[in-house]
Structure 1
Amino acid sequence: MIKTRLLALPLLALAPLMLAACDDAATTDGAGARGEPLPAVAPPAGQQWTNVVTITPEGGYMMGNPDAPLKLVEYASHTCGACANFAKTGKEPLKNKYVASGTVSFEQREIFLNPFDAVIATLAQCGAKEQFQPLSDEVWQNLETVFTGLQGNPQAVQAAGALPLNQRFVAIGEATGLLEFFAARGLSADQGRACLADTTKIEALVKSVEANQAKDKVTGTPTFFLNGQRVEGTTWDVLEPALQRAGAR
């Protein structure tokens, strides 16, 4: 059984740090000149690009035209306040204006700041692939409620963290209210428990996440890449000009 650094970390020691652990810096690189507009790409008959989801070789969930000329990747943590800010301010225009045009695809990849991230990501990935990003956005839209659950029952969380791996994540999901949170959004508690009991899959997920983070030298969340180049900023008012300079409209 793979023993990863993340799965060995104590849960409670990380809980007070989660809001400060991600990168809230709103750095900008200026609007700059706009590039020539890229022509829109029609989706397959009867479909919309915002409903087309592909799981990439890196394990990310990509929304939109798989062959889009502009490929935006976000490395994000579900317990990151700056990621929540992007979800609240940038996701709708990104999807409805740019992804919908077929010129931009948007891929979300995981970063785990703490073991809770692994539990949340496992639940978000538990259902149909088309539900992953909507469920992630539900977490970010309700992050205060999620944090209340994560920090509201420390004794039960501590006890869960001491259980064997094949019991640990189900117990964490119950103690933190995460199973209930996702059940209210369409993922049944039984389905959630089954996914959280699949420790082989969770360990593979953690290993993949850690490999991606090391490969792309990601040190904070959110971190964005556009066509493989790091975007120097974390907010929509930085990302949109970067997309427009590349030709998105």
Structure 2
Amino acid sequence: MKSTRTLLKLSLAAPLALALAACGGGSGDVEDGDVIAPIAAPEGTNWGETVTISEEDGYVLGNPDAPLKLVEYASHTCGACANFSAQAKPGIKEFVATGVVSFEQRNLVRDPIDLTIATLVRCGAKENMQPLSDQAWGNLEATFAAVNQNGAAYQAAGEAPLEERFVGIAQAAGLIDFFAARGLSADQQLACLTDTETIETIANNSSEQASELNINATPAFLLNGRRLDVNQWREIEGVLQRAGARSE
């Protein structure tokens, strides 16, 4: 996995190559379990709108004490992650609504554009992190097209001081306007993109957790802390059902 120092430098790897990169496998099987009854949310709330931040700095949707905890390590410049987002989120929300399954999204940062988007999706309310991530994945081709079109500005951002670097990347990639249209003002974005301490924390967490868990490709999944050897939604759905998230 890239070091924090490497992530904070500007890589000019071809964006389209990043978009098409495949995912990696894993290891570990999850044992079959008995059916787990739905768990009611506290009165006046619902699990589909409940978001907490984990000790690993991931964003958890659903019951934080769910018996089945699904974790995704994802990159915002990973085409396979974008595909998973489009295909899986309706089904994940159905599982989460029962209180039996929670879904946590953690960053595995691959490049400076990824780190810039990771910073921006975390910039507002915690409830918006996953929805903004899904929208950013849906816009991935347009983001890369903007970077290709604004190559000189993108390269210049790499020579800028750290507190200016990610603003330059966001501008070259068309991200300021994109996120402004989704409720993050330009001023909010600029404050987040110049918060180098927070940006370094995102990069550090990514590098340390990837090293600890031996994750070197995205998307990668854990269920109750055990690495799954599957990364397609149809397969993960089956794992959750066998583990107990199913009807009688």
TM-score, normalization by structure 1: 0.92
* AA of the residue aligned to 2:234: D
Alignment correspondent of 2:78: 80
Alignment correspondent of 1:247: 244
Alignment correspondent of 2:8: 7
The answer as to whether partners of 2:4 and 2:204 remain within 8 angstroms in 1 is no
Deviations 1:204-241 (A, max 9, x none): 21111111111111011000011111111111111000
Which stretch shifts more, 11-20 or 228-237? Answer: 11-20
Deviations 1:177-216 (A, max 9, x none): 1111111111111100110011111112111111111111
* AA of the residue aligned to 2:23: D
Alignment correspondent of 2:67: 69
One of 195, 199, 224 as aligned partner of 2:196? 199
Matched ranges for 1:227-242 at <5 A: 227-242=224-239
Query: What CA distance in whole angstroms lies between the structure 2 residues aligned with 1:14 and 1:74?
Result: 25
* SS in structure 2 at match of 1:73: strand
One of 169, 173, 189 as aligned partner of 1:172? 169
* AA of the residue aligned to 2:240: L
How many equivalent residue pairs?
Answer: 244
The answer as to whether partners of 1:24 and 1:82 remain within 8 angstroms in 2 is no
TM-score, normalization by structure 2: 0.92
One of 146, 152, 157 as aligned partner of 1:155? 152
Structure 1 residue runs of 5 or longer lacking an equivalent are none
Query: What CA distance in whole angstroms lies between the structure 2 residues aligned with 1:202 and 1:33?
Result: 38
Q: Percent identity?
A: 49
Structure 2 residue runs of 5 or longer lacking an equivalent are none
Are residues 170 and 85 of structure 1, via their aligned partners in 2, closer, same or farther at CA, if it must alter by over 3 Å? same
* SS in structure 2 at match of 1:182: helix
* AA of the residue aligned to 2:37: P
* SS in structure 1 at match of 2:73: strand
Please report the RMSD computed on the Cα atoms of aligned residues, expressed in angstroms: 2.3
The answer as to whether partners of 2:31 and 2:243 remain within 8 angstroms in 1 is no
Matched ranges for 1:1-249 at <5 A: 4-8=5-9, 10-23=10-23, 35-95=33-93, 97-249=94-246
Q: Return the offset for 1:16.
A: 4.3
* SS in structure 1 at match of 2:106: strand
The answer as to whether partners of 1:149 and 1:178 remain within 8 angstroms in 2 is no
Query: What CA distance in whole angstroms lies between the structure 1 residues aligned with 2:147 and 2:53?
Result: 28
